[in-house]
Structure 1
Amino acid sequence: MEEQQLEHKTYAGRYYVLVVLSLLCALQNIAWITFSPIVKEAKLSYGLTDIEITLLPAYSPMCFVVLIVPFTWFLQKFGVKIVGVSAAWILAIGCTIRVFIPFVPEASNWIWVMHIGHILIGYVGLPVMILPPIVSSAWFRPKERTLTTAISVCAQAFGQAVGFVMISFLTKHYGIRTMLYVMAELGVFVAALFTIYFPSKPPTPPSVSAEKDRTSFALSFKKLICNPGYILLVIGGGIGMGIPLSFQSVLSIILNKNIGGFNENVVIDSFHGFISSTSWLGFAMSVLSGIFGQIAGFFADRFQKRFKIILCLLLLIASGFFLWFSLSIYGYGSQNTINLFITFCMADVLVFTAMPIFYEAVIEATYPVAEGTSSGFLTLTINIGTLLFSIVGIAGVFSDKHPERAKAMSWVATGGLLFALVLVLFYREGYKRLAVDVSEITSESENDSIPSLLPPSEKNRGPLVINK
């Protein structure tokens, strides 16, 4: 049988798809933290209680726990286009209905509308965290995949940074209702961009792996459960990212109690005013997370088959920063404001930087399981950690009256990172998808279910030709 050399193409439209997905990721995170920077104004304008302000953002991890299985089935059944476009409009609706709530005292009778809006916003967290690696795999070449995944994942961090500034500025100068109007308008704008153009995949795939059919949804569960490498990555990623990232929620309780002289002041009147503000600390973490995440994605694409080394380095250094931060707040290290600011900022940034690498690693380890299914359960474990923190906070365990309880969680975050590092060390890395793309399938990989994906005529073909 005559061997054939397939052509694979990339399209300029892939950049549009990446941009609109990144805008959705950013806007969902802006809407998710709507009232976190303006707690006082939210209480005065809508009568929200402390529990409700904690509960509204907690709807996002709740949606993950409840909807992850039906969502991954829906995604594999109906495709990226329907999921993406519907998610954009659901986010627009969730942002829009909040503007119809009257101010206090009438607001108490309409506050359920606010909850519905944030449940819809919380649901969009599923496609926001699951679609990035799918879009990268469907539209981009192997040498571009990790970076493009990092761009859309890190857009979430940029969204939080922009949201912090935008929400505070609009509320202070134009009022909380104007801020909600602007957010609703942005939601409709992004939804319109999705409606204009957001296909599930390009006419011609960019790589060999992109053109192959994925494992059925029912069979995927069996393959994932029986894959020890995947289990290690999912548990390690969930613990190593979920717990430390959730620790941000108690940061102000710890630092604003006269440790290092921190406060929540958002006015930059001096360098000390910036460096001693927990609000600006959150802003700096978000910006740097986005930058470092994309840098890590760039180098991961240049040094393929090195995910394990990269993850171990990120987790090890982040553990060191978290350990020093924990020692410092207990008085065993320096409680200097600059030390605490830099130490925690870098610890959190490195944890977030590992996220796109974890996504790509689990997909490589489980190919040909659908990207949405394999990455979905990684995202689930991350959100379980976030949800547990939220539940503890709602129960009143972490409060201004008990800062020592919040301080103790710093050791839990440090231990979680070290435990994740151990699991990644035991993970036996595999690059099944990459092996298909570079036609490096060996006898070892033939024992690992890949040969069934390739017809006999294609197993020994020449180098893959990619037309830009």
Structure 2
Amino acid sequence: MTSLKPEINPKNTEIEDQRTEGMSEDIQDTTLYRRRWYVLAVYCLYTFSQAGVWNTWGPIAESCKRAFGWDDTIIALLPNWGSDRVYSGGMVNLLEHGHTRTANIAAFLNALGGPVAMGAPPVLSAAWFPPNQRTTSTAIATISNYAGFAASFLIGPLFDSLAPKGQTNMSDSESVTLSSIDNHTVTLIQNTSDANNQGSQEITRIRHDVMLVMYGECGWCVLVMLLILFYFPSKPPTPPSKTASEGRIEIVSGLKQLMRSKMFLLISVIYGLPLGIVGLWGSVMSVTLEPHGVSEAQAGWIGFYSILAGCFGALFMARISDMFSKHMKQILILLFCLAFLCFLWFNLILIGIIPSSIAQIYISVITGTLWINATVPLLFEMACENTYPIAEGLTTVVLTTWLNVVGLIFLGVQMIPKIGTSWESWSILASISVCIPILCLMGDNYNRLKIDENFEKKTTPVQ
């Protein structure tokens, strides 16, 4: 195994000095390693892959209905498992027979990696990055998960070419033939046979292309696994900040404190409620928008651009938060207000108060998702700041568990027979409206940042 040993750069041995009152003098210097960007990049590939595999089926829901005989209940169940390893899911997907069973097994195995893929960014940031880069690092890791989610939406437009074009309409053909049955009985039999053959060929072609996607996912996930095995340390030899060098509260005690922390419980509601609903709604967007004349390909592009916009929004707002520290609460209020307006616009389009157009659906969903996803790194860091010295990993795992519970309930409701889909977009709006007053009334603490700001830092950049 290759070992990356630190090499001190003599040209730039000190980044920043800040005097500290009351700090012990025996505390070791902090060190920044350039390899932190490699570690971040490998983690980003992992979380990208987990999200992409998780959202495999939603963007091609209509094609899978034709090819495998699935219905909306099965399509909704598959991402419900997202509530061990990514490559395991890809490997099981390669089983070509028993499609429904193996798809669910693969979804379950992939879901086991969900807590690490969604909850580890603040842990990695605290272990490898200095205070003025933590939120940005968390944002990069977080948006990689959303980038994988967005990339999966490209599958839908690729499958759009499989939709039957110019296929004979059977009801019209039969009515014309029966009106002249004495002369055209043979024609009816031949048309029926041709239509059956065409349908069989269509199913074969869709199944073939689905298998190509499965092989591609498997190869990609194996590559990511090899990178992780090659070099992926949990922390650097020397910490990047004062708080990174300090111990954390043990898990059981930390969990009890989290459950008793009013601030953390409020942040859990703000994080899990809207993001759990919006994220899971995106995975079945093609089914939701179908009654409104939005094709599978169009829904795929809406999902892709929505998540892509959210990635840029999260990165931009995280950098703003790092530059203007201790203003997370104000930034979050602004983001949720903008998201509320966008999804209100979207719902008014769907019920016909605002004249409907595909352009307005595109813009309202994309901008609404942008503002919602931009809150993720800020909420992660806010939770870790408020709960310090509880371990960041424990804090974020509980947060993502709450998100998965919300998602489980949301998709579980979808499985109720004849429930429809019109309620889904209103649930997004309701969840956002709950968060805004909570944010306005809650406090804002920066326990971890205060310690780091008061610590005299001698940071040595190394490779």
- TM class by smaller structure: 0.7 to 0.9
Residue 53 to residue 331, structure 1, CA distance change in 2 (3 Å): closer
Q: Are 2:395 and 1:361 equivalent residues in the alignment?
A: no
**Residue 10 of structure 1: SS of its match in structure 2?**
strand
Question: Does the 8 Å contact 2:90/2:214 carry over to 1?
Answer: yes
Residue 53 of structure 1: aligned partner:
75
Paired-residue identity, %: 28
Where does 1:434-449 land on structure 2 (aligned, <5 Å)? 434-439=449-454
The one of 40, 43, 51 equivalent to 1:18 is 40
CA deviation vs aligned residue, 1:19-49 (integer Å, no higher than 9, x gap): 1111111111111111222234434555544
Once the two structures are TM-superposed, the CA of residue 331 in structure 1 deviates from its matched residue by 2.3
Q: Are 2:268 and 1:234 equivalent residues in the alignment?
A: yes
Distance 2:153 2:342 in 1: 25
Which has the larger displacement, 371-380 or 41-50? 41-50
CA deviation vs aligned residue, 1:247-283 (integer Å, no higher than 9, x gap): 335644554334xx5322x3xxxxxxxxxx2221111
Q: TM-score by structure 2 length?
A: 0.80
Distance 2:146 2:418 in 1: 27
Which has the larger displacement, 44-53 or 132-141? 44-53
Residue 466 of structure 1: aligned partner:
459
Question: Does the 8 Å contact 2:89/2:106 carry over to 1?
Answer: yes
Residue 341 of structure 1: aligned partner:
362
The one of 235, 241, 245 equivalent to 1:207 is 241
**Residue 429 of structure 1: SS of its match in structure 2?**
coil
Q: Are 2:123 and 1:144 equivalent residues in the alignment?
A: no
The one of 377, 386, 395 equivalent to 2:407 is 386
Residue 253 to residue 20, structure 1, CA distance change in 2 (3 Å): same
Q: Identify unmatched segments of 5+ residues in structure 2.
A: 1-22, 163-204
Distance 2:294 2:282 in 1: 14
Residue 50 to residue 232, structure 1, CA distance change in 2 (3 Å): closer
Once the two structures are TM-superposed, the CA of residue 356 in structure 1 deviates from its matched residue by 1.0
Once the two structures are TM-superposed, the CA of residue 364 in structure 1 deviates from its matched residue by 0.2
Where does 1:274-285 land on structure 2 (aligned, <5 Å)? 277-285=298-306
Question: Does the 8 Å contact 1:41/1:176 carry over to 2?
Answer: no
Q: Are 2:391 and 1:370 equivalent residues in the alignment?
A: yes
Distance 1:36 1:48 in 2: 12
Q: TM-score by structure 1 length?
A: 0.79
The one of 88, 96, 101 equivalent to 2:91 is 96
CA deviation vs aligned residue, 1:361-412 (integer Å, no higher than 9, x gap): 00000000010111112112222221111111122344xxx4xxx3233333
Distance 1:412 1:25 in 2: 27
**Residue 459 of structure 2: SS of its match in structure 1?**
strand
Residue 161 of structure 1: aligned partner:
150
Q: Are 2:124 and 1:135 equivalent residues in the alignment?
A: yes
Residue 391 to residue 362, structure 1, CA distance change in 2 (3 Å): same
Distance 1:464 1:126 in 2: 33
Question: Does the 8 Å contact 1:244/1:414 carry over to 2?
Answer: no
Residue 459 of structure 1: aligned partner:
none
**Residue 9 of structure 1: SS of its match in structure 2?**
strand
Once the two structures are TM-superposed, the CA of residue 426 in structure 1 deviates from its matched residue by 1.8
Q: Identify unmatched segments of 5+ residues in structure 1.
A: 62-86, 267-276, 440-461
Where does 1:402-413 land on structure 2 (aligned, <5 Å)? 402=420, 406-413=421-428
Residue 467 to residue 397, structure 1, CA distance change in 2 (3 Å): farther
Question: Does the 8 Å contact 2:154/2:300 carry over to 1?
Answer: no
The one of 295, 299, 306 equivalent to 1:263 is 295
Distance 1:44 1:334 in 2: 32
Question: Does the 8 Å contact 1:246/1:385 carry over to 2?
Answer: no
CA deviation vs aligned residue, 1:34-92 (integer Å, no higher than 9, x gap): 1222234434555544432221111011xxxxxxxxxxxxxxxxxxxxxxxxx5xx211
Distance 1:100 1:347 in 2: 38
Once the two structures are TM-superposed, the CA of residue 336 in structure 1 deviates from its matched residue by 2.9
Once the two structures are TM-superposed, the CA of residue 7 in structure 1 deviates from its matched residue by 0.9
**Residue 113 of structure 1: SS of its match in structure 2?**
helix
Residue 50 to residue 2, structure 1, CA distance change in 2 (3 Å): closer
Which has the larger displacement, 47-56 or 218-227? 47-56
Q: Aligned residue pairs: how many? A: 394
Q: Are 2:55 and 1:33 equivalent residues in the alignment?
A: yes
Once the two structures are TM-superposed, the CA of residue 223 in structure 1 deviates from its matched residue by 1.6
Residue 113 of structure 1: aligned partner:
102
Distance 2:277 2:75 in 1: 20
